[in-house]
Structure 1
């Protein structure tokens, strides 16, 4: 389309996002200050409607954007940015973030929702693509053992080891063999892919080898999950949809973790930063848009942060928030070497 019609379309989208009301030619002229007559703008609106970018709810009403109109608008957006207060809010959050990876991701979803007033979702992809950064066998007392794996994504896996089946195993777990087995596991597993079958060469010490074998068996039985989902600000979208049925459909999707994780992973793999309506591939989200960005550790995508809102969402703000938070989260997860996370995980299990 020519530059003037692109300006008219942008004005309609921006006005509808702000007001949720159909936009007429007078409003377009006031917003754009185009040096043309109202009749010319009306002709442009009609042409944009004929091309599928706008729709008219009923005769004599103004126009509203279609999916194609939103897509054209989004494709023409620049990178966008948060205001200085919001940037400081994000910096302060990650400067003081601490605790388990699950707590960080859950808090990050709430931060993103607070910035935008949309529902926010943070996904930690399953660990089958990760490598092991640190492995530790922890004696919890009373013959209870825990394997703690810190992954390259910063995620921590905890797997309990069953040593109750044999008095000899219980005795080994309470002796120095636990420390030796922990050292063997750390040396043998660090840098290996979690998805591979984990095996370790025998040391020749019966007690140590028995504990190592028990730990490996427990890890083999504890398959990595599809992915963890953290949702923040669900209540914030309740006022964003006029039809109760639409809201009910959206909330039902958010309750299905596997469905959401699969959707977001698909969008990231397809290289989409914004999916509008039918582009999500999910009928319950036909009136929604999703803005998503991956976060990385050591250059590898390990999850995603995203926003879910109505198709008339504030795309510039949403894109700026998602990309700012994803970059900060990547930097935060890439700082540590894994040891503090393992120690924290062990203390949590002991509690």
Structure 2
């Protein structure tokens, strides 16, 4: 059972170790923190924390460092998050305010978050399976090339190139827009994707009406709508792992692999249980099922018109949890606000 002063000593050890990278001893705690007790008393408190496996001595006769369990207790007993400064909040707003479409907004979000924290930042795309297709535009670029533009009611806009052996006339384009719009516009992404898959497979009565000019457009459109349905992440700051490699006891390769493949991180983020503030932390060995035992992941929920999703950080267990959690929460708040304003402006 950890006493209240024991928790304060643990907090001091975590804070000093994060700040200095050096093991923390009882003398340093007495000098840096106003406990009003002797170093001998602090040593007794540290011995109890060590018995609880919350701190450990990395070397003989050294100070102590937090264990993964110690970081967990520290995070669970955070009285409050370290508030962002006015300058930091202003930087978030100004950085996100100039964004264009959703892709740009999410890209700016992760770049802002990694600048604030020095960690790998990630944001999950909202699920667009229930979004509705509002417009499909076709633009002839010559040489049989056609730009296919898809717009949904959530503000998602994508552009892909389709190639036809025949050069479409303006009359051809008008007919294609009308036919293809009739297939997908006004339908959810899920329904539209399934309709196109059925037509392209040849199992729909409408398949007989798909000519050589329409087929490549439908194929590109089907691929785009299927991608809308897939969970994916936007990430920034992977280079910070190399700069902080000394904070990892082993190789950073599992983290780099998780960043590249994304599936592991998406699973982990989806399984993390948020508190009443929409925040969650998964620390060290808690990530063992995902192969990320030397990393911590912090996430916050944000709201999008079509669904909710998460924004978060990935980094070593030795991180500034109060500041990083506050940054994740603040960025999630502003991202929600931007998406709501964009939705209301339509």
TM-score scaled by length of structure 1: 0.79
The gaps in structure 2 that reach 5 residues or longer are: 199-205
Task: Say if 2:199 is the partner of 1:198.
Answer: no
SS of residue matched to 1:174:
helix
- Residue 265 of structure 2 corresponds to 260
Rate the CA distance shift 1:249–1:214 in 2: closer, same or farther, 3 A.
closer
Q: How does 1:201-280 map to 2 (within 5 A)?
A: 218-220=220-222, 222=224, 223-224=226-227, 226-242=230-246, 245-267=250-272, 273-280=280-287
Query: Which whole-Å CA distance do the structure 2 matches of 1:139 and 1:249 have between them?
Result: 43
Rate the CA distance shift 1:339–1:45 in 2: closer, same or farther, 3 A.
closer
Query: Which whole-Å CA distance do the structure 2 matches of 1:237 and 1:229 have between them?
Result: 18
1:322 deviates by 0.9
Q: Residue 96 of structure 2 contacts residue 108 of structure 2 at CA under 8 Å; is this kept in 1? A: no
Query: Which whole-Å CA distance do the structure 2 matches of 1:295 and 1:163 have between them?
Result: 41
SS of residue matched to 2:53:
coil
Q: List per-residue Cα deviations over 1:22-42 (Å, max 9, x = no partner).
A: 111112223332232222211
- Residue 175 of structure 2 corresponds to 177
Task: Say if 2:305 is the partner of 1:298.
Answer: yes
Query: Which whole-Å CA distance do the structure 2 matches of 1:237 and 1:192 have between them?
Result: 37
Q: Residue 54 of structure 1 contacts residue 63 of structure 1 at CA under 8 Å; is this kept in 2? A: yes
SS of residue matched to 2:342:
coil
Of residues 219-228 and 41-50 in structure 1, the stretch that sits farther from structure 2 once superposed is 219-228
SS of residue matched to 1:198:
helix
Rate the CA distance shift 1:244–1:289 in 2: closer, same or farther, 3 A.
closer
1:162 deviates by 6.2
SS of residue matched to 1:313:
coil
1:83 deviates by 0.7
Higher relative contact order (CA 8 A, sep 6+): 1
1:44 deviates by 0.8
Q: Residue 126 of structure 1 contacts residue 226 of structure 1 at CA under 8 Å; is this kept in 2? A: yes
| Number of aligned residues | 330
- Residue 96 of structure 2 corresponds to 94
Q: Residue 279 of structure 2 contacts residue 325 of structure 2 at CA under 8 Å; is this kept in 1? A: no
Query: Which whole-Å CA distance do the structure 1 matches of 2:332 and 2:313 have between them?
Result: 12
Query: Which whole-Å CA distance do the structure 1 matches of 2:344 and 2:222 have between them?
Result: 22
Q: Residue 305 of structure 2 contacts residue 343 of structure 2 at CA under 8 Å; is this kept in 1? A: no
Task: Say if 2:317 is the partner of 1:317.
Answer: no
Q: Residue 229 of structure 1 contacts residue 257 of structure 1 at CA under 8 Å; is this kept in 2? A: yes
- Residue 72 of structure 2 corresponds to 71
1:71 deviates by 0.6
Q: Residue 268 of structure 1 contacts residue 292 of structure 1 at CA under 8 Å; is this kept in 2? A: no
- Residue 104 of structure 1 corresponds to 105
Q: Residue 95 of structure 2 contacts residue 108 of structure 2 at CA under 8 Å; is this kept in 1? A: no
The gaps in structure 1 that reach 5 residues or longer are: 341-351
1:286 deviates by 1.6
Rate the CA distance shift 1:339–1:184 in 2: closer, same or farther, 3 A.
farther
Query: Which whole-Å CA distance do the structure 2 matches of 1:213 and 1:76 have between them?
Result: 59
Query: Which whole-Å CA distance do the structure 2 matches of 1:283 and 1:307 have between them?
Result: 16
Q: Residue 130 of structure 1 contacts residue 151 of structure 1 at CA under 8 Å; is this kept in 2? A: no
1:161 deviates by 5.5
Query: Which whole-Å CA distance do the structure 2 matches of 1:259 and 1:30 have between them?
Result: 43
- Residue 336 of structure 2 corresponds to 330
1:88 deviates by 0.7
- Residue 201 of structure 2 corresponds to none
Task: Say if 2:295 is the partner of 1:288.
Answer: yes
SS of residue matched to 1:188:
coil
Query: Which whole-Å CA distance do the structure 1 matches of 2:45 and 2:153 have between them?
Result: 53
- Residue 150 of structure 2 corresponds to 149
1:250 deviates by 2.7
Q: Residue 132 of structure 1 contacts residue 194 of structure 1 at CA under 8 Å; is this kept in 2? A: no
Of residues 272-281 and 79-88 in structure 1, the stretch that sits farther from structure 2 once superposed is 272-281
- Residue 349 of structure 1 corresponds to none
Q: Residue 71 of structure 1 contacts residue 276 of structure 1 at CA under 8 Å; is this kept in 2? A: yes
Q: CA RMSD in A?
A: 3.7
